[in-house]
Structure 1
Amino acid sequence: MKEVMSFLVRRCYSLKHIQQAHGLMVPRGLDEDNRLLSRFIEACSCLGFSNYAYSVFTRIRVPNIYLYNTMIKALPPSEAISVYNKIQVAALRPDTYSIPFVLKAVVRLGLAAVGIGRQVHCHSIGTGLDTHVSVVTALIHMYSSCASVSDARRLFDGAAFRDVALWNAMIAGYAKLGDVDTARHLFETMPLNNSNVISWTALIAGYAQVNRPTDAIMVFRRMQLHNVQPDEIAMLAALSACAQLGALHFGEWIHNYIQKHGFRELVSLNNALIDMYAKSGNIRKALQVFHSTKYKTVITWTTMIAGLALHGLGTQALDMFAQMERAKIAPNDITFIAILSACSHARLVETGLCYFNIMVSRYRIEPKIVHYGCMVDLLGRAGYLQEAKELVRQMPFEANAAIWGSLLAASNIHGNDELGEHALQHLLMLEPQNSGNYSLLSNIYTALGRWNKSRMLRKVMRDNGVKKMPGRSFIEVNSRVHGFIAGDKSHSEGDRIYEVLYKLFRQSKLAGRPQQDCGELLEFDE
C-alpha cells in the first residue's frame, strides 16, 4: 500500500489531488510513516502549497530528522529557520543536510541575516558538523552571499580538505561580489584535475557580471581547449558577453553548439540568442530564433521587442507587442520599457503616451523611474522640451543622472542652451567627473556660435580636474575580439595596424580627400 500511495503522491498536480491523497493516508495510518510523509511534503512544496504541508507537519506526533530536513527545504526562509530551531526542542540532532538547507534559507533572506548564519555556524561547531564538506561549502556560500567574504576565505583556508565543491564555492563567492581578479587568481591555483564546469562557469559569469566581456569570452574559449563541456549557465554568460561586445561570429559558434548538443529547447538560451543577435546587428537572425522558439515566455517577447526598438524598428516593435497581447502573454514592467523605447526611437509621441497610460489602466503596472526616463527621452527626442522638463518636475521620483542626461542630449539635438545648462547643473552634482556631460553642452554652445561660453566650459572642466574619457572600439576577427582605446598603441599587432593605416592615408591623399594624421585614425571619439 505504501508503494501505491507513494506513486499517487508523485502524480498530484493540484490542491484537490493533495487533499485526496492526504484523505487516503490518514484512515490507513500512513500519515505515521515519516518517509511517505516526506514525499507528501515535497509534493506540496513543488505545487506551491507549503502552508498545507506545514499544517500536516505540525500534527505529526514523532517526526524524525529526515522529516525536519524536508520541511526546512520546503518552507519560505523565515519559517524554515523557525523549524530548524525546533530540532533541538524535539531532542533531535541536526545532520549534514539540516545545516546546508537552513543556510540556503539564510542566503535568501539577504545581507541582514548574516547574524543568523553565524549562529548556525556556531551550532555546526557545537555538533561537530563543521568539518563535513557539505556544511563547510554551505557556510562559505552563505558568508559570500552575505558580503562577508573574509569569513568565507578563513573557512576555506582553514579547511583540512580541498574538495572541488569547496573551491567552486569560494571562486563563485568572489565572482558574485565582483572581485573577479581574486576569483581568477584562486582559479589558477586550483589543481586543474579538480576543476569542473561549475568552476569555469563561475569565472565566466563573474566577468560578464562586471562588464569585462572580453575576459569572459577568453575564459570560455580556454574551457573548450581543456575539453570541458559548457552547461546552460556557461553558455548564457558567454552569450551575454557576446551581446556586450557585438561578437557575432563567436555568438554564432555558440548557437551552432546549442543546436548540435540538444540545448535548442531551452527557452533561456533562445532568449539569450535573440538578445545576442539583436545587439550584434543581425536582427533578421534574432527574428528567426524568435519564430523558431516553441515556448515563448514574457522574457522571449520582451527581448524581441527590445531588439527591434534597438534597431530603430519602432513600428515592428509595436506590431510584435500586439501579437504578444493576442497570444495572451501578460507584459511586465520590462516589456513597457522596451515599448516606450521603441516609441522614442520612432518619435511616436502620442503612441508612447497611450502605452504609458495603458501600463497603469489595463495592466496595473506602477511606473518606475525608468519608465519616466523613457517618456522624458521620447518627448525630448521629438522636440517637446518644455513638456519633458515639466514631466521631470511632476514625476513622483527625484530625477537621476539618466533623466537629466536625456534632457541634456535633447537640448543638444534641438540647440536649447538654456535647458542644457539647467540639466548640466544637476548632472554636475550627480556625476561631477563625467566628461561627456560637459562635451554635450559645449557642442550646444559651438553649434549656436557661442564660442566664449564653449571655451569657458572647457576651462571649468580642466579646473575641476575632469578628464575626457578615451573612446573605445571593439572588432571581432577570426572569433577573437580585439579592443582599442584612443591613444593606446600597445596592441600586439600595432605595427601592422599602423602600416595599413598609412596605406589608407596615402590612398586618401591621392584621392584628393582632406588629409588627416594617421595617429588620429585610432582616436575613437566618444
Structure 2
Amino acid sequence: MRERLLYLLKHCSNLKDVETAHGSMVRTALHHDKLLLSQFIETCSSLGFSAYAHSVFSVNSQSHPHIYVFNTMIKGMTLCNSAFEALLVYKSIGRVGLRPDCYSFPFALKAVVDLRAMSLGTQIHSQAICAGLESNVHVVSALIQMYSSCARISDARKVFDEMPLASVCSDDVVVWMAMIAGYVKVGDPDTAMDLLSRMPRTQTDGAVLITWTSVIAGYAQMDRPDEAIAVFRKMQLENVVPDEIAMLAVLSACAQLGAFHIRLGECIHGYVKKRGFDQMVTLKNALIEMYSNSGNISNALHVFVNMTRRTVISWTTIISALAFHGLGTQALDMFSRMEMAQVKPNDITFIAVLSACAHVGLVNLGRYYFHAMKYRYGIQHEIQHYGCMIDLLGRAGYLAEALKLVSEMPFQPNAAIWGSLLAASNIHGDAELGELALLHLVQLEPWNSGNYALLSNIYASAGRWDKSVMARKMMRDKGVRKMPGWSFIQRKTT
C-alpha cells in the first residue's frame, strides 16, 4: 500500500488528486510515514499548493517530527517563493528536539539568498560550525553561493580557502564550481578563470562543461568577448565537448565582436547543425543576432526563415536586425507578419519597430505604433520608446512636436534624447533648439567634445560666427579636449 501511495503522489496533477491521495494516507494510518509525508509536501509544492502542504506538515511536525520531513518542507517553501516561511520552518527544528543536518543548512541558505537576509545568513553559518558541518561539501557550497549572491565575495573565498585541502581535491567539485560561479556572479571572470585552471581534473565531464561555460558567459556578460572566445578555445584544447549552453555563450561573444569573428561564428553554426542543436530556438536567435552584428543580414534572414518554431524573441531579433541595417520597410513588413502569426509583441519589439519607422521616415505610422503600444497591446512606454519617437520626429523635421513630447515624458530626458534633438537641430538648422539641447548635454556629459563641435557647426551654418567661436571657446575654457578621429581597414581574406 505504501508503494502504491508513493506512486499516486508522484503522479498527482491537480488539487483533487492530492486530496484523494491524502485521504488514502489518513485511512491507512500512513499519514505519519516520513517518506509519504515528504512526497506529499513535495507534490503540493510543485503544484503550487504550499498552504495545504504546510497545514498537513504543522499537524504532523509536533507529534511525529523527523528532520527529513522538515528539510522537504523548507525546500518546498523556497520553491514556492515563500522564503520567509521556509526560514520559520528552519527555526522551528530546534523547538521539536531535532538538529539541522547537512541538507537543512543549504535549503535555509537558499531562502536567505532569496530574502537578501545577510545577517541571518551569518547566523546560519555559525550554526553550521556549531553542528560540526563547516567542512561538509553541501554546506560549504551553499555558504559560498549565499555570500557571493549577497556580493560578499571575500567571505565566500574565506569559506572556500578554509575547506580542508584533502577534501577539496578529491571528488568535491561542487565547491570549486560554486566558487567559480561566485566570481562570475560578481563580475570577476579573471579570478574565476584562475580557479578553473587550478581545479582538480577528477570530476565528471558534466561538471567540467558547466564550469567552463560559466566562465565564457562571465567574460561575455562583462563585454569582454575576446577573452570569452579565448576561453572557449582553451576548453576545446582540454577536449571538453561543448553543449548548447556553451554554444549560446560563445555566440553571444561573437555577436559582440561582429565581423571580426564571423568565421568563428560560421564554424559554430556548422557545429550546431552537426550536433543536432539547429532546432533550438535560443541558439537560432543567437545566430540571427551574430549574423546581424557581423553585417551578414542575408544569413540572419536565412536562419530565421528556416526556423520551425519562433518566439517573440525570434521575431524581435530579426526586426531589430533589419532596422539596424537600415531596412526599415522590411522590418515593418516583418512586424506585420509577426502580428498575422498572432505572436504578441513586447516592449523591446516596439523599440525595433519605432527605430524602423525612424529609418524610413514614416512619421504617421510611428505615431500609430507609439499609441498602439499602450492602448492596443497594454505595454507601458519606457524612456527608450520616447527616445525612438523623439528621434523619428526630429529626423523628419517635427521639432516642436519632438520638444513637446520631451516635456510630456514621465521621465527625466537622458543624454540620448537631448543628443537626438541636437542632431535634429543640426539637420534642420535650428540653432535655438541646438543651444537648448547642448545646455542639458553639458550637464549630463560635460566632457563630450562632440556636443560643442556640433553646436559650433549649427551656428556657423546659420552665419552666426560669433556664437560659433563662443562654443569653441566654451569647450577650451572647460578643458575639454577634442577626441582624435580614427579608422581601420578590414582585410578581406580568401
TM interval, shorter chain, is 0.7 to 0.9
Partner deviation per Cα, 1:119-156 (whole Å, 9 max, x = no partner): 22122122222211221122112111111112112222
Counterpart Cα distance in 2 of 1:330 and 1:51: 34
Partner of 1:274: 288
Partner residue, 1:3: 3
Query: CA 1:165–1:27 in structure 2 vs 1: closer, same or farther (change >3 Å)?
Result: same
Cross-structure match for 1:142: 146
What letter corresponds to residue 143 of structure 1 in structure 2? Y
SS at match of 1:159: coil
Deviations 1:438-488 (A, max 9, x none): 444344445546555455434443443434556576959889xxxxxxxxx
State how far apart, in whole Å, the 2-side matches of 1:118 and 1:107 are. Answer: 12
**Which residue is equivalent to 1:520?**
none
1:179 aligns with 2:188: yes
Of stretches 455-464 and 116-125 in structure 1, the one that deviates more from structure 2 is 455-464
Q: Tell me how far 1:221 sits from its aligned partner.
A: 1.5
Equivalent-residue separation in structure 2 for 1:445 and 1:306 (angstroms): 35
Q: Is the 8 A contact 1:168 1:202 kept in 2?
A: no
Partner residue, 2:315: 301
Higher mean displacement: 5-14 or 139-148: 5-14
Alpha-carbon shift at residue 396 of structure 1 (Å): 1.0
1:211–1:3: structure 2 CA closer, same or farther, 3 Å change rule?
Answer: same
1:34-433 correspondence runs (5 A): 34-61=34-61, 62-75=64-77, 76=81, 77-110=83-116, 113-161=117-165, 162=168, 163-190=172-199, 196-246=208-258, 247-433=261-447
The TM-score with structure 2 as length reference comes to 0.86
Alignment CA distance shift 1:26-1:357 (3 Å): farther
| 3-state SS of paired residue (2:60) | coil
Question: Residues 465 and 35 from structure 1, CA distance in 2 versus in 1: closer, same or farther, beyond 3 angstroms?
Answer: farther
TM-score by length of 1: 0.82
1:277-323 deviations in Å (ceiling 9; x for gaps): 22222233323333433343322222222222222333333333333
Q: Distance in 2 between matches of 1:135 and 1:34?
A: 23
Over 3 Å counting, the alpha-carbon distance change for 1:49 and 1:370 in structure 2 is: farther
Counterpart of 2:226, as a letter, is T
Kindly provide the amino acid, as one letter, of the partner of residue 144 in structure 1.
S
Instruction: Tell me how far apart the structure 1 counterparts of residues 489 and 70 of structure 2 sit (CA, whole Å).
Output: 55
Per-residue deviation, 1:99: 1.7
Q: Distance in 1 between the 2:483 and 2:219 partners?
A: 22
Q: Hey, what's the Cα distance between the residues in 2 that align with 1:474 and 1:129?
A: 60
Summarize the Cα distance change of 1:426–1:132 in structure 2 as closer, same or farther, 3 Å threshold.
Answer: same
The alpha-carbon distance between structure 1 residues 152 and 453, as it changes in their structure 2 partners (threshold 3 A), is farther
SS at match of 2:9: helix
Contact 1:245 1:474 in 2 (8 A): no
CA distance in 1, matches of 2:209, 2:342: 38
Structure 2 residues without counterparts, runs of 5 or longer: none
What is the rounded CA distance, in whole Å, between the counterparts of 2:333 and 2:51 in structure 1?
43
Q: Write the distance in 2 (CA, Å) between the matches of 1:67 and 1:454.
A: 78
Secondary structure at the residue paired with 2:113?
A: helix
CA distance in 2, matches of 1:287, 1:47: 40
Report the RMSD for the aligned CA atoms in angstroms. Answer: 2.9
Q: Distance in 2 between matches of 1:267 and 1:74?
A: 31
Q: Distance in 2 between matches of 1:220 and 1:458?
A: 48
State how far apart, in whole Å, the 2-side matches of 1:434 and 1:184 are: 36
1:437 matches 2:451: yes
Give the direction of change, closer, same or farther, for the CA distance of 1:453–1:292 in structure 2 (3 Å limit). same
Aligned residue for 1:96, secondary structure, equals coil
Contact 1:373 1:402 in 2 (8 A): yes
Give me the whole-angstrom Cα distance separating, in 2, the residues matched to 1:14 and 1:274.
40
Shift of 1:210: 1.4
1:157 counterpart letter in structure 2:
D
Query: Which stretch shows the higher mean deviation, 118-127 or 208-217?
Result: 118-127
Aligned-residue offset at 1:202:
2.4
Q: Secondary structure at the match of 1:32?
A: coil
Figure out how many residues of one structure are paired with residues of the other and give that number.
477
Stretch of structure 1 that moved more, 6-15 or 146-155? 6-15
C-alpha spacing 1:176/1:434, structure 2 compared with 1 (3 Å) = farther
Instruction: Provide the secondary structure at the position in 2 that maps to 1:366.
Output: coil
Distance 2:491 2:248 in 1: 19
Q: Per the alignment, do residues 119 and 173 of structure 1 end up closer, same or farther by CA in structure 2, a change over 3 Å counting? A: same
C-alpha offsets along residues 141-195 of structure 1, whole Å, 9 cap, x if unaligned? 2111111112112222222233433333223222222233333444444456678
Distance change in 2, residues 1:191/1:28 (3 Å): closer
- Secondary structure at the counterpart of residue 31 of structure 1: coil
CA 1:21/1:389 → structure 2, altered by over 3 Å: closer, same or farther?
Answer: farther
Matched to 1:420, the amino acid is G
> How far did 1:326 drift?
3.7
Code of the aligned partner of 2:383: I
For residues 419-442 of structure 1, the C-alpha deviation after alignment (integer angstroms, 9 at most, x for no partner) is 222222222222223344344434
CA distance in structure 1 between the partners assigned to 2:109 and 2:186 by the alignment: 18
1-10 or 83-92, which deviates more: 1-10
Please tell me whether the aligned partners of residues 240 and 276 of structure 1 are also in contact (alpha carbons under 8 angstroms).
yes
Q: Secondary structure at the match of 2:187?
A: coil
Cα-to-partner distance string for 1:64-120 (whole Å, 9 max, x where unaligned): 22222222222212232222222222322222222222222222334xx22222222
Cα distance in 2 for residues equivalent to 1:466 and 1:193: 57
Counterpart residue identity of residue 218, structure 2:
G
Q: In structure 1, what is the Cα distance between the partners aligned to 2:338 and 2:13?
A: 28
- Aligned partner letter, 2:129: I
Distance 2:309 2:54 in 1: 34
Q: Residues 327-346 of structure 1, C-alpha deviation per residue, up to 9 Å, x if partnerless?
A: 43333222222222222222
